[in-house]
Structure 1
Amino acid sequence: MKVEDLKQGLSSLWESVGQGWHHLRQSASNALTGFKPSEKTNLPAKSDVDDMFYIPSGTWSMLGGNLFEDDNRVVVQLEVPGLDKENLDIEVHGNSLVVQGEKQFERESTQGRYRVLQCAYGSFQRSFPLPVEVIADQARATYKNGVLRVELPKANAGTPRRHTVKVD
C-alpha cells in the first residue's frame, strides 16, 4: 500500500506543479517584455562584463502592471523603474493602452568591471487591452517612484459592464 500512496502523492504533486506553471505562464505572459538596446542605450561591451549571462543585444524583463476599473474610469499602473519620465511615450491605440520607452544604462564613474549585469536596458513596448471604450484625449499620467499611473475616463461612465439576461 505504501507504493500506491507514493504514486498518488507524486501524481498530486505533478498536477499541482502543472497548475502552478500554467497560472504563472498566463499571468506573466503580458508582463514579460523585450528590451532592444540601441547606440544611445550606452551598454558596455560583452568583453567588459564578467557575467556569463549578459547579452548586450537584447534582454527581457518583467514589467508588472495592474489594471483597475470602476464606474467612471480605467486606471493602469506599470512598474518601470530606472526610467526618466521624458523617455516614456503613452498612447491609446484602438482598444489598447500602449506604453513605450527606453531605459538607458548609466556607467559608474570609476574604473572597474561589472561582475553581474541583470537589469534590462533599451527600448520596450508594453500593451494593456482596455476592457471598455475610453476618452483618450482626457487621459492623465503620473510617474512616481518607478511606477507609471495612467487614468483613462470611460466614454460611457456609469454604464455597467454586465447585463443580466432573463431566461423565459
Structure 2
Amino acid sequence: MERLEQFKHGLEETWQGIADGWRRLRDRAAGALTRFNPTRHGSPESGDTVVGAPDWAVLAGDVVEEQDRFRVRIEIPGMNKEDFEVDVRDDVLYVRGEKRMSEERTEGHYHIRQCAYGSFQRIIPLPGPVLADKASANYRRGVLSIELPRAEDRRGKRLPIDGD
C-alpha cells in the first residue's frame, strides 16, 4: 500500500509542476496570445463555430520605442488591408481583423486544402501617451506596421533651475 501512496504523491507533484510551468508560460507569452474565434463559414455573427478548433493563436509582434514615436509591427500573413480595423484609445492599440484564407492545390496524387477562418483581436498597451489623430498604419507583405507619434505635452520637460 505504501508504494501506491508514493506513486500517487509522485503523480500529484508532477501534475502540479506541469500546471505551474504552463501558468508561467502563459503569463510570459500573454502579450503574444490572441483570441481567435474560428467559424465554419467565416462569419462570426452566425455563431456557427468550428468544434475542436483552437481558441488561441500567437500573433507575433514588436513594439519599438523611439525618441519621437512608437513603432508597432505585427505579422499577420495572408490577409488584405481591408480585413483589419486599427484603433487607438487611451494609449492602447487595438488591432482586430477577420481571416478568410482558403488554399487548394493538387500535387501529384495529393489534393491539399488549407483553410483558416475567424476573427481575432490583439490589444497592445503602449509604453506612453500618443497622438492618436496623427498615427498611421501600413500593411505590406504580411506585416502590419503602425507608427504612433508620442504626445509631446505628456513626455515631460527638464526645467532649468534659476537662482544663486
Q: Work out whether the TM-score is over 0.5.
A: yes
CA contact (8 A) 2:98 2:119 kept: yes
Alignment-mate amino acid for residue 94 of structure 1: D
Unaligned runs of 5+ in 1: 1-16, 43-53, 162-168
Unaligned runs of 5+ in 2: 1-17, 44-49, 158-164
**Which residue of 2 is the match for residue 142 of structure 1?**
138
**Which residue of 2 is the match for residue 34 of structure 1?**
35
CA contact (8 A) 1:72 1:157 kept: no
TM-score, normalised via structure 2 length: 0.64
CA contact (8 A) 1:41 1:105 kept: no
CA contact (8 A) 2:89 2:132 kept: no
**C-alpha deviations, 1:86-111, integer Å up to 9, x for none?**
10100012121000001103142669
| Closer, same or farther: CA 83–159 of 1 in aligned 2, 3 Å | same
**Higher radius of gyration, 1 or 2:** 2
Instruction: Give the superposition deviation at 1:130.
Output: 0.9
Point out which structure has higher relative CO (alpha carbons under 8 A, 6+ apart).
Answer: 1
CA contact (8 A) 1:71 1:160 kept: no
Write out aligned runs for 1:127-166 (5 A).
Answer: 127-156=123-152, 159=155
Point out the more displaced range, 92-101 or 31-40: 31-40
Query: 2:135 and 2:97 mapped to 1: Cα distance?
Result: 18
Cα RMSD over matched residues? 3.4
Query: 1:55 and 1:32 mapped to 2: Cα distance?
Result: 20
Secondary structure in 1 aligned to 2:88? strand
Q: How many residues align?
A: 132
Aligned to 1:81, which of 77, 82, 99? 77
**Which residue of 2 is the match for residue 14 of structure 1?**
none
Aligned to 1:72, which of 52, 68, 74? 68
TM-score, normalised via structure 1 length: 0.63
Instruction: Give the superposition deviation at 1:157.
Output: 7.1
Point out the more displaced range, 27-36 or 96-105: 27-36
Q: Judging by fraction of residues, say which structure has more strand.
A: 2
Instruction: Give the superposition deviation at 1:60.
Output: 2.4
Percent of aligned pairs sharing the same letter: 40
Instruction: Give the superposition deviation at 1:34.
Output: 2.1
